Every structure is written in C-alpha cells, then in structure tokens.
Structure 1
Amino acid sequence: MPRDDMMADSEFQPLVVGIGGTIGGVSSTERALKIALDAAGRQGFRTRMFGGADMGRLPLYNPKATTRTPEEQDFVETMRGASALIIASPGYHGSISGVVKNALDLLEETARDAERPYLADMPVGLIATAYGWQATGSTIAALRSIVHALRGWPTPFAAAINTQLTKFDDEGGASDQAVLDQLCMVGTQVARFAPLQIHTNG
C-alpha cells in the first residue's frame, strides 16, 4: 500500500490517549500505561501517550487565563479527537498525583464544546500504582470519581499495581505475568467500548 494511503487510513483509526507518569524520568506508572496502550494498539487503534515529561510541561491550570501555551493547546486538541482514554496515576498520599490532576483540570477547556464536553460518553481505563496496596485502592476510587464528574465511563476493570512486588523493565515487560494480563485487559476494554462511543457521536 502506498505510504499516502497508509497515512490516510491511519487518520480514520480511532485514537486512544494515555495520561500518566511522574516528573523526573520514566516511572513504573508510565511503563504500565505503555503496556495498556500497546494492548489497545493491537486492537487496531492509534495511540498517543502524555507521560510525565509531557505533563511536566503543562503550566498549572489557570481557569482565568486568556491564552494557552502550545503544550496546553496540543493536549486539549488531542483529547477532542480521542475516542477513549487511559489514565495511570501513582498513589500520592492516598490519591492521584498533582501532574495527573493538573492535566485533567485542563479538560475544563472543553466544557462548552457542543459535540462532546469533557469526557462525555468516553470509555476510560484506570491504572493505579503504589508502593503497597492501600494507596492503589484509594487512588482508583479517586480516579473513578473524577471520571464520573467529567461525564466519562470508567471501564469495568481497573488495574491496581503494587510496585513493591512488581518490577517493570525497559522492554515493555514486568516481573509478574498477572500484572501484564491486567494491564492488557485495561487496554483491550477501552478498545472494545470505544466503537460504541464513536457510534453514539456519529
């Protein structure tokens, strides 16, 4: 197939966006998110990840600002074109990290969109990582609450990962096959639900 035709076809593939990670290098959270996005990609979806470095370039959200930085504009426009979302956050003091919350706050820019304000009708997969089990549960609960407030649909399964027990590598693997299976399930579920969202908006 000619390259132009391949690029044209890819434009019609639905997009799954991933948000997650921490500032200061590639984290376990970011590696977990990449595994889930790769699973969505295997279902025929385009994917794009906003990792820790990307979110670190977003200024603190100011609802009264009259202009937005190029990074903010890129994030908002990418989300407007997404059919599904995966959010991965480390558990910080029992809840989500500041950089993840700041990125989600920026979705306020879509509040008045006629076609789809916020995350309306969008399937959203959730991943929480923490050094212990307690924070994973409260972080997933916080993410579910935020997604509901943004009118999205959290998918039935969320991945809770205890990084005290599971280690990730640079090749997209993990020390626990069950964790890999869970992350793949997150990516697969958002991919399965995304066509329903496309049909609704179409």
Structure 2
Amino acid sequence: MSPLIVGIGGATRPGSTTELALKVSLAAAEAAGAEVRLFDGAFLASLPHYDPAAPRSPAEAEFIAVCRAADGFVIASPAYHGGVSGMVKNAIDLMEEMRADPRVYFDGCAVGCIATAYGPQGGGPVLAGLRAIVHAMRGWPTPCGASVQSAPGLFDTEGQCQDTKVREQLELVGRQVVAFARTTAQAA
C-alpha cells in the first residue's frame, strides 16, 4: 500500500514560491510511490480561525480526516517577519482536534519542513520554528529541511524549479518523508 503524504502550505497568492516549492517536494514523494494530498494556500485561506469551542466547518472536517489518515507530512511556510505564516499556523492549530486520537498529532510520522523567504535571513528562523512545532507535536522532522530564497525566475511558468540545488533539496525532503513512512509501516 502506498503511504499517504499530506502537503500543507502556501500563501494567499496562487502560484507563490511556497506553494510551488511544496509541489516540487510532493511530486518527488509521488515519484517515490506515495499518494499525495495538497492543502494549498487557497484552501488554508478558506479555513476559519481555529476556535476549539466552535463546530467544525466541512473544510476543517476534511482537513482533519485526511491528516488522521496520513503517513507523513510536508509543511511549507513563507517567512513572515521571522516566523511561520498565520495561515499555515492556523492549519497546524486545527490539528489540536487530533489530541485524543490513537495517534496524536504527528506522532510517529516524518514531517518535511520547507521555508521560503525573499531575504537571506528569513528562512532559517522559519525552518527552525517549523521543526520546533513538529517536535512539540510528537513528529520527526526529516534530516533535510529546505530553506529557499525566493528570486525572480526560480520557477518557470509550469512551476518547474530552475535552480538545480534548490530542486534537489526540495525533492530530498519529499523522498525522506516517504522513506520514513515506509520504514515505520514495516516496523508496525
């Protein structure tokens, strides 16, 4: 059976660097034999602010159901003022609905982390922040995390990464999530 890898990330702008980077990583996961599901910026922007006391919207319920079924994750966030974007963090906060599940949050799952930033300093703190969140939620950040400096022409009009080193880094994140998911499944 193919592992299910869930991608979470993007920005409010369709075709953002963050969304394109996430798609490259998920394509590598798919090429490695995984089934992938993407929750992109448009989806994340449609989610209401997480309120533990509120009933779940259909979009929130769908997101949680897919996350519960996931064998691994790739999370991509733009750097906003040195931190994870509110939109991505809101989706992660929604996973609080998994607090009483047999598998809590990311427990036992590999989570690939991708940060994108326009400046050379923004990606590092966001990547570290994502890894800290994954640890706090009982997940295993992949050994390789990708910090991508956004630049004009980094992706072509078809969404293909034009920088070989960046593409290889993003692909490695996706492959590592799949490899860990398979290893975990074999050990169970």
Q: What TM-score bracket applies, with the shorter chain setting the length?
A: over 0.9
1:165-189, Cα deviation, whole Å (9 max, x unpaired) = 7621232312311111111111111
Alignment map for 1:14-53 (pairs within 5 Å) = 14-53=3-42
**Structure 1 match to 2:154:** 167
1:137-173, Cα deviation, whole Å (9 max, x unpaired) = 0000100110001000000001111113762123231
> Partners in 2 of 1:78 and 1:26 — Cα distance?
23
Residue 167 of structure 1 aligns to a residue whose secondary structure is: coil
TM-score normalized by structure 1? 0.90
Q: Is the 8 A contact 1:29 1:88 kept in 2?
A: yes
- Which one-letter code corresponds to 1:59 in the other structure? P
How far the C-alpha of 1:39 sits from its partner, in A, is 0.2
How far the C-alpha of 1:61 sits from its partner, in A, is 0.2
Match of 2:142 among 155, 180, 191: 155
TM-score normalized by structure 2? 0.96
Compute the RMSD of aligned alpha carbons.
1.2
Counterpart check, 1:71 vs 2:72? no
Structure 1: runs of 5+ lacking an equivalent: 1-11
Alignment map for 1:100-179 (pairs within 5 Å) = 100-114=88-102, 116-164=103-151, 167-179=154-166
Give 1 or 2 for the bigger CA radius of gyration: 1
1:103-143, Cα deviation, whole Å (9 max, x unpaired) = 000000000002x0111010000110000121100000100
Q: Is the 8 A contact 1:21 1:90 kept in 2?
A: yes
Counterpart check, 1:94 vs 2:82? yes
> Partners in 2 of 1:199 and 1:58 — Cα distance?
35
> Partners in 2 of 1:169 and 1:52 — Cα distance?
19
Q: Is the 8 A contact 1:132 1:164 kept in 2?
A: no
The aligned length equals: 188
> Partners in 1 of 2:108 and 2:65 — Cα distance?
17
Structure 2: runs of 5+ lacking an equivalent: none
Counterpart check, 1:184 vs 2:148? no
